Chain A
Amino acid sequence: MTTDNSGDVRLSGISKTYGSFTAVHPLELTVPQGSFFALLGASGCGKTTTLRMIAGLEEPSSGTVHLGDQEVTHLPPYKRPVNTVFQSYALFPHLDIFENVAFGLRRRGIKSVKKQVEDMLELVQLGEQARKKPHQLSGGQQQRVAVARALINTPKVLLLDEPLGALDLKLRRQMQLELKRIQTEVGITFIHVTHDQEEAMTMADTVAVMNAGRVEQLGSPTDLYENPNTTFVANFLGTSNLIEAEVDSKSGDDIVLRAGGGKLVLPESRCGAPTTTGGKVLVGVRPEKISLTHADDAGEIAENRNRITGKIADSSFIGVSTQYVIDSPVCPEFEVYAQNIDRDARLVPGAEVVLHWNPAHTFGLDAAQDIDAGVAEVEEEAA
């Protein structure tokens, strides 16, 4: 028996150009049946265009789109077994909620839709609202109608284009869990486009980070977070401290690097860049992996840890953790998040400190990239 792969989405070499502008560079992507897949990136990175090419709302400039074994590249949207939850929902304002949800079924000539629509409205907890018009519902309710309207057709693939973008933070969190629950319940392939890295990481099993029309990296949220391959991913997904370092030597499975006057150890398996002695590498470490020790206690730090010295430039207390900005010779703004378990009263701005971490948490990146790639985008989206 073969496994069902009719919900696989396979993009081979698809690209989209508008005049001289390339929105999506030739792209290879396979989304397996039943997965919750997120396309993550800043606005204008080509993620929505990619989604629209799967939906049939945009004609690819090259390449093919397969759903399972069926090629759908040139099929119009109404012939594709795919449904979309649009960014601003695009509910039909002249139809009530019931008719909005029944729309797809009726178009396929299904006569008795009552039971199905009612069940679907029950699933999204809108049974009471069936006879209301879309404008009478709140944003969160409209969002659920949009999901119900798409899901009722039991598509092979459900496409979600920034479906939570218009909701406030609290509702967003709630809907993230809700969508995740629905996905698990119906088992349909979900492809979710978002610029919110937290949203992508909470909901999806696989995330593709897109930048300037290309997929920078693809993997599970943990994998992307712990082992970013590019500076863009390192900066866009959470925060990373990146240090320019020079390869000094190799010892066993580790690479020894020189940065500032000190030495850092990086496991070779966690380095995505070529390492020749004397060559440059970007060394990264996430802020929460680092421990802070006051310079007076430097002797207590275990020998095998990576260490950097610096001075606290700024600290902000945010409840569960304190975020420090450390001024260090190797990196001007080193960020450290320390959990507030036992707070050392000496760690105030101006204090000399040693930053140290387990070398296993270090990652290495190709030094030929822009060290700040992906930083600005995050700020733009937050603004």
Chain B
Amino acid sequence: MATVTEAPPLAPTPEKKPPRKRGRWTPYWLLLPGLLWLIVFFALPMIYQGSTSVQTGSLEEGYKVTWHFSTYWDALSEYWPQFLRSILYAGSATILCLILGYPLAYLIAFRAGRWRNLVMVLVIAPFFTSFLIRTLAWKTILADSGPVVSTLNSLHILDVTNALGWTAGDRVLATPLAVVCGLTYNFLPFMILPLYTSLERIDGRLHEAAGDLYAKPWTTFRKVTFPLSMPGVVSGTLLTFIPAAGDFVNAELLGSTDTRMIGNVIQTQFLRILDYPTAAALSFILMAAILFMVTIYIRRAGTEDLV
């Protein structure tokens, strides 16, 4: 008769001990290049910049770390209008990008069919031209005697924007409107791509299910599609807002002295006035302000739930 006896518990065999010395360190070795990169190009410059911001002195005598924190207060009290303007312009551009980009991303994700790849290429195509040239092109497009301005003028739209303070003196160039348009144009792909990615991931059967459960198309969008695309909305707005807030090219080329953004101030301080401490302090303030806003925004958007 065959009997079944319980097998003795297996003693752990030495071969089975998983982490061997070399194997255990492999992940860290793989991390090393990235870590070095971060240290050399992020951590060290940050420390250097930090120390610069609390230095005093002059170009001739040299700068010394004197823990002169009042540079921060001075910078903030002098340049707060530019800070506010940056946030306002970047915020407006982000909202415009969302309004323009969402329908397009939706169209590409759900309706484009075999045109999908072509439209995607068209979205990315501007990247093949330099940022600077693209922005300069807007100078021509929005030129005072150009077709855009004359069309806006004859439709009396400029009267409205003049009244709102977005444009001045029947021109678009060198006004807030031009800067915001430039920002919107330049950062639109950064909005569309994440939006498209998150929309495209939505299972089409969820739309059918919503319809089956008495949701009209618009309700389906509000209750199902939009909430599920929130990760894309959040990353798209961040990818647009953060670089737009620090941008100086659009304000430089399409704006005037009245539309200077904080990026322009920092650029001038660093490269023209050569006041390094103020420039460094301004950079830190901008960074802190963006970090603060982004943190609040992500908290409010509550995207952690959307897996």
Q: How far is the CA of A123 from the CA of B210 in the complex (A)?
A: 22
Q: Are B213 and A76 in contact, with the CB atoms below 8 A?
A: no
Contact partner, B211, options A78, A94, A133, A150, Cβ 8 Å: A78
**Which of the 9-residue segments B188-196, B214-222, B252-260 touches chain A?**
B214-222
Task: Check A12 for interface membership: any CB of B closer than 8 A.
Answer: no
Measured between beta carbons, the chain A residues less than 8 angstroms from B215 are 78, 103, 107
Interface residues of B in 178-236 (CB under 8 A from A): 203, 205-206, 208-216, 219, 223-224, 227-228
Q: Are A55 and B212 in contact, with the CB atoms below 8 A?
A: yes
Measured between beta carbons, the chain B residues less than 8 angstroms from A87 are 205
Task: Check A108 for interface membership: any CB of B closer than 8 A.
Answer: yes
Q: Are A92 and B208 in contact, with the CB atoms below 8 A?
A: no
Contact partner, B212, options A57, A91, A93, Cβ 8 Å: A57
Measured between beta carbons, the chain A residues less than 8 angstroms from B228 are 93-94
Measured between beta carbons, the chain B residues less than 8 angstroms from A78 are 211-216
CB distance from B198 to the nearest CB of A (A): 12
CB distance from B303 to the nearest CB of A (A): 10
Interface residues of B in 264-307 (CB under 8 A from A): 305-307
Contact partner, B214, options A86, A90, A107, Cβ 8 Å: A107
Q: How far is the CA of A135 from the CA of B227 in the complex (A)?
A: 16
Q: How far is the CA of A69 from the CA of B242 in the complex (A)?
A: 60
Flag A88-103 by CB within 8 Å of B: 1 or 0 each.
1011111000000001
Measured between beta carbons, the chain B residues less than 8 angstroms from A153 are 213-214
Q: Are B211 and A90 in contact, with the CB atoms below 8 A?
A: no
CB distance from A50 to the nearest CB of B (A): 16
Measured between beta carbons, the chain B residues less than 8 angstroms from A76 are 211
Flag A22-66 by CB within 8 Å of B: 1 or 0 each.
000000000000000000000000000000000111000000000
Task: Check A84 for interface membership: any CB of B closer than 8 A.
Answer: yes
Known pairs A94-B227, A94-B228, A94-B306; A104 contacts B205 (CB<8 A):
no
CB distance from A160 to the nearest CB of B (A): 12
| Contact-size category for A | 20 to 34
Q: Are B208 and A57 in contact, with the CB atoms below 8 A?
A: yes
Q: How far is the CA of A84 from the CA of B209 in the complex (A)?
A: 8
Q: Are A93 and B307 in contact, with the CB atoms below 8 A?
A: yes
Q: How far is the CA of A133 from the CA of B214 in the complex (A)?
A: 22
Known pairs A93-B228, A94-B306, A107-B219; A88 contacts B205 (CB<8 A):
yes
CB distance from B247 to the nearest CB of A (A): 34
Q: Are A108 and B208 in contact, with the CB atoms below 8 A?
A: no
Known pairs A78-B215, A149-B213; A90 contacts B227 (CB<8 A):
no
Residue of A nearest to B206 (CB): A90
Q: Are B213 and A103 in contact, with the CB atoms below 8 A?
A: yes
Q: Are B213 and A57 in contact, with the CB atoms below 8 A?
A: no
CB distance from B215 to the nearest CB of A (A): 5
Measured between beta carbons, the chain A residues less than 8 angstroms from B219 are 107
Known pairs A90-B203, A90-B206; A135 contacts B213 (CB<8 A):
no
Residue of B nearest to A87 (CB): B205
Q: How far is the CA of A88 from the CA of B209 in the complex (A)?
A: 11
Known pairs A77-B208, A93-B228, A94-B227; A83 contacts B213 (CB<8 A):
yes
Q: How far is the CA of A93 from the CA of B305 in the complex (A)?
A: 9
Measured between beta carbons, the chain A residues less than 8 angstroms from B214 are 78, 104, 107-108, 153
Flag A147-172 by CB within 8 Å of B: 1 or 0 each.
00110010000000000000000000
Q: Are B205 and A92 in contact, with the CB atoms below 8 A?
A: no
CB distance from B140 to the nearest CB of A (A): 45
Contact partner, A57, options B203, B211, B223, B224, Cβ 8 Å: B211
Residue of B nearest to A58 (CB): B208
CB distance from A116 to the nearest CB of B (A): 14
CB distance from A114 to the nearest CB of B (A): 18
Flag A130-155 by CB within 8 Å of B: 1 or 0 each.
00010100000000000001100100
CB distance from A146 to the nearest CB of B (A): 9
Measured between beta carbons, the chain A residues less than 8 angstroms from B205 are 86-88, 90
Q: How far is the CA of A132 from the CA of B102 in the complex (A)?
A: 30
Measured between beta carbons, the chain B residues less than 8 angstroms from A149 are 213
Measured between beta carbons, the chain B residues less than 8 angstroms from A150 are 212-213
CB distance from B118 to the nearest CB of A (A): 23
Contact partner, B213, options A56, A104, A133, Cβ 8 Å: A104
Contact partner, A77, options B212, B223, B307, Cβ 8 Å: B212
Q: Are B212 and A83 in contact, with the CB atoms below 8 A?
A: yes
CB distance from A341 to the nearest CB of B (A): 28
CB distance from A84 to the nearest CB of B (A): 5
Q: How far is the CA of A328 from the CA of B224 in the complex (A)?
A: 62
Q: How far is the CA of A83 from the CA of B206 in the complex (A)?
A: 14
Known pairs A78-B216, A92-B224, A93-B228; A86 contacts B208 (CB<8 A):
yes
Residue of B nearest to A102 (CB): B213
CB distance from A127 to the nearest CB of B (A): 21
8 new A-B pairs (CB below 8 Å) besides A78-B213, A82-B212? A57-B212, A78-B212, A92-B206, A92-B224, A94-B224, A94-B227, A94-B228, A153-B214
- Please name 23 pairs of A and B residues whose Cβ atoms are closer than 8 Å in the assembled complex, sorted by A: A55-B212, A77-B211, A78-B213, A78-B215, A78-B216, A82-B212, A84-B208, A86-B205, A86-B209, A92-B206, A92-B209, A92-B224, A94-B224, A94-B306, A103-B215, A103-B223, A107-B215, A107-B219, A108-B214, A133-B305, A150-B212, A153-B213, A153-B214
Residues of A within 8 A of B (CB): 55-57, 76-78, 82-84, 86-88, 90-94, 103-104, 107-108, 133, 135, 149-150, 153
Residues of B within 8 A of A (CB): 203, 205-206, 208-216, 219, 223-224, 227-228, 305-307
Closest 3 CB pairs of A and B: A104-B213, A90-B209, A107-B214
